[in-house]
């Protein structure tokens, strides 16, 4: 997977959030998108994911030497973000089954293996509305990391996680990101220390 941003800009009303971003992301390399709260990190990630249009510029996607239309890019990505909601009336098992109706399982990972990865075997039949915020964040991360997609997008991945949860997240990074294009939006160094490539939103104001 390769993503090329050419002169990308986004504005709300008359205010430019960022402009003139020229950048290329390549598979097998992790990238961090950095900036203070409200700087536009999540906005850029939503543009990259195809969920939001840019105000100017062009974005191009290439996978296995074939160009992919922005309308089809969702099939090639998995995302975990605080603003994405889970279906809270579903049990955990139902959430897993529902998610993998739309995404292929990485390495054919089974529901029992996912429950073990989450350490939530006893919660398999509990509705998500009874989960803590940290438990919900773990579920979001597990679903994203364990989807067989070329691109993995992570926005503030350790939100609501304690130190044990942070360590668990870093284990996921080590286990499930080989050969994938990984983008992390963050302003906390422990979330992106593994990313040698860093795009600072402040450079495009």
DSSP 82-144: TTPPP-TTSBHHHHHHHHTTTSPBGGG--HHHHHHHHT-GGGTTSBGGGS-HHHHHHHHHHHH
CB 148 within 8 A of CB 117: no
Q: What is the CATH number of the domain that holds 92?
A: 3.40.50.300
Task: Specify the residue for token string 């062009």.
Answer: 58
Name the pTM for this structure. Answer: 0.95
Torsion of CA 100, 105, 108, 112, to 10 degrees: -50
Residue 41 lies in a domain: yes
Coil, strand or helix at 81: coil
pLDDT level of residue 56 (50, 70, 90 thresholds): very high
**Within 13 Å, how many C-alpha atoms sit on residue 11's CB side?**
10
Residue 107 lies in a domain: yes
Q: Which helix (H) or strand (E) holds 154?
A: strand 151-155
pLDDT score recorded for residue 17: 96
pLDDT score recorded for residue 162: 96
Q: 104-160, pLDDT tens digit by residue?
A: 999 999 999 999 999 999 999 999 999 999 999 999 999 999 999 999 999 999 999
Give the residue among 71, 146, 80, 138 at the shortest CA–CA distance from 109.
146
CB 31 within 8 A of CB 1: no
pLDDT score recorded for residue 143: 98
Residue 193 lies in a domain: yes
Find residue 182's DSSP bridge partners: 30, 152
Give the residue among 5, 34, 31 at the shortest CA–CA distance from 20.
5
Q: Report the domain count for the chain.
A: 1
Residue 12 lies in a domain: yes
Report the pLDDT averaged over residues 16-30.
96
Task: Specify the residue for token string 């679903």.
Answer: 143
pLDDT score recorded for residue 32: 98
Q: Which helix (H) or strand (E) holds 47?
A: helix 41-49
Domain extent for 133 = 2-199
Residue 204 lies in a domain: no
Which tokens is 102 given? 């739309």
Residue 43 lies in a domain: yes
Residue 37 lies in a domain: yes
Residue 205 lies in a domain: no
Coil, strand or helix at 133: helix
Q: 173-183, pLDDT tens digit by residue?
A: 999 999 999 99
């Amino acid at each position: 997977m390769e993503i090329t941003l050419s002169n990308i800009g986004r504005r709300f009303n008359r205010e430019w959030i960022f402009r003139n971003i020229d950048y290329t992301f390549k598979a097998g390399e992790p990238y961090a998108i950095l900036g203070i709260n409200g700087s536009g990190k999540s906005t850029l990630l939503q543009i990259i994911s195809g969920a939001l249009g840019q105000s100017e510029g062009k974005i191009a996607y290439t996978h296995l030497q074939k160009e992919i239309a922005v309308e089809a890019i969702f099939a090639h990505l998995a995302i975990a973000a605080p603003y994405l909601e889970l279906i809270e009336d579903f049990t955990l098992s139902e959430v897993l089954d529902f998610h993998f109706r739309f995404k292929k399982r990485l390495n054919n990972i089974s529901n029992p293996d996912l429950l073990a990865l989450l350490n939530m075997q006893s919660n398999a039949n509990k509705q998500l509305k009874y989960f803590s915020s940290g438990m919900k964040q773990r579920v979001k991360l597990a679903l994203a990391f364990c989807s067989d997609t070329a691109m993995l997008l992570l926005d503030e991945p350790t939100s609501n996680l304690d130190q044990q949860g942070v360590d668990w997240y870093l284990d996921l990074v080590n286990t499930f990101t080989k050969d994938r294009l990984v983008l992390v939006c963050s302003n906390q160094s422990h979330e992106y220390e593994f990313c040698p490539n860093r795009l600072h939103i402040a450079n495009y104001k």
